[in-house]
A and B are shown apart, each in its own frame.
Chain A
């Protein structure tokens, strides 16, 4: 770890668990939950956010001394919007089907509170390299939750992972289905995303009592 000092490593590892953007900071829930019915969509969304966060944090951090504080929100929004347009066009070019599934939620990365929150809280006051690490760390924390939720929703909801059946064939009754197992179609509906995240929060706070709210 010659490149990363201890403090820098903490920037990446902290948001993964104890300061997770979704379960602890309550940021970025908006665009996260609607697209987690499939694991693939969750992964693509995570990568998009990773790109926007990493690059955006560096850009804002480089510009932090020339942005007048009164119009900083508009300036930040323009930077994010530009990056999101790049992501959207790339998705449309190389993964058209997926960009249809994600529909407006790619655009909603712009108002993803994690991004604005990290700009405000970190990039405006720190140098580019540390901001980059902070962006990557928070985006990874977001990705972890998204992928866990996507994993359980796809596995329990349709019995597949990344579109590949893993529990056997529900029509021919092979694998688990031979024992009378049924897919829970309810997991594919949007309210279950909220409940799954609620359960993740429950587990996390049971393991780490320091996070419990009064």
Chain B
């Protein structure tokens, strides 16, 4: 149950693009055609599924305060967490190169469809963001970390697929000239993000989900109260 919850949460509620704006650069740059968007999206899922669990291991056994106890009790005081940025990004960059080499050797057809996107991915904020969120949300087990990686990858994939499809269609619409291209893409993404916020109430079991929902509810009730207050004052007047 925990797995299912985390999976859906990372796809819809904490969607990489719409909730945290990660990977926006490649999201905007490579979303002109559906076919290329699918390629990049698949590559992101693939790389996230590899790097998040790897960085989880790194975090648990090297970086966290006291993580080095497996080397011996005298290492218990070490806290290397300030190194996490550099370790994570080095892992990601090397993994991306490694994946590129392995895929090229064993599956040329996959390489032809994914290959050109892999170098792009090393500097995609969604990948590093996945690892950093994994660290800051304190995901408990390796299985959950893998799950989180795949889930956020799928969320990113869905987002880029949707915007690419919309951009292919919008070419035939009468958009004001100054908004054409980038401007309208931003606004559409904003509207899609508002749409995705409605998933916020989907899960109530998880701690964070519940918290998030509470804040959303608070905002809405706040507004309702304010409106009521405003109405009342008007009536009183």
A108/B25 in contact, CB under 8 A: no
B33-41, B49-57, B126-134, B140-148 - the one binding chain A: B126-134
Contact of A73 among B85, B123, B191 (CB under 8 A): B123
A190: chain B residues within 8 A (beta carbon): 18-21, 193
Shortest C-beta distance, B2 to chain A (Å), equals 23
- In the assembled complex, B125 has its CB within 8 A of some CB on chain A: yes
User: Are B123 and A113 touching (Cβ within 8 A)?
Assistant: yes
Interface readout for B108-149 with A: 1 if CB under 8 Å, 0 if not? 000000000001001111111100110010000000000000
Report which of A73, A193, A199 forms a contact with B122, defined as CB distance below 8 A: A73
Chain A residues, CB < 8 A from B18: 190-191
Counted as pairs of residues, one from A and one from B, with CB atoms less than 8 Å apart, the total is: 149
Say whether B230 contacts A193, CB under 8 Å: no
B186 contacts A by Cβ under 8 Å:
yes
Size of B's binding interface in residues, CB under 8 A: 55
Query: Does A63 sit within 8 A of B, measured CB to CB?
Result: no
Is A84's beta carbon under 8 Å from chain B? yes
Q: How far is the CA of A34 from the CA of B19 in the complex (A)?
A: 8
A31 to B127, CA, bound (A): 13
Give the contacting residue for B124; candidates A32, A111, A194; CB below 8 A. Answer: A111
In angstroms, how far is the closest chain A Cβ from the Cβ of B116?
15
Indicate whether B90 reaches chain A with its CB closer than 8 angstroms.
yes
Task: Collect the chain A residues with CB atoms within 8 Å of residue B82's CB.
Answer: 85, 88-89
Give A214 to B171 CA distance when docked, in angstroms: 10
Q: Within 8 Å of chain A (Cβ to Cβ): is B194?
A: yes
A88 to B86, CA, bound (A): 12
Q: Chain B's nearest CB lies how many Å from the CB of A167?
A: 15
A7 to B177 Cα, complex, angstroms: 32
B218 to chain A, nearest CB (A): 10
Which residue of chain B has its CB nearest to the CB of A212?
Answer: B177
A108 and B93 form a contact (CB under 8 A):
no
Query: CA separation between A29 and B94, bound complex, in Å?
Result: 25
Highest count of chain B CB atoms <10 Å: which of A27, A180, A198, A212: A198
Complex alpha-carbon distance, A189 and B29, angstroms: 24
Q: A26-B182, A107-B85, A182-B226 are in contact. Are A195 and B123 (CB under 8 A)?
A: no
Tell me the minimal C-beta distance from A18 to chain B in angstroms: 15
The 11 sampled A-B contact pairs (Cβ below 8 Å) are A30-B23, A73-B93, A85-B83, A104-B136, A107-B84, A108-B132, A110-B128, A182-B226, A201-B182, A201-B186, A205-B183
Return the 8 tightest CB-CB contacts between A and B, nearest first: A213-B181, A198-B186, A194-B190, A191-B193, A30-B125, A205-B178, A195-B190, A198-B187
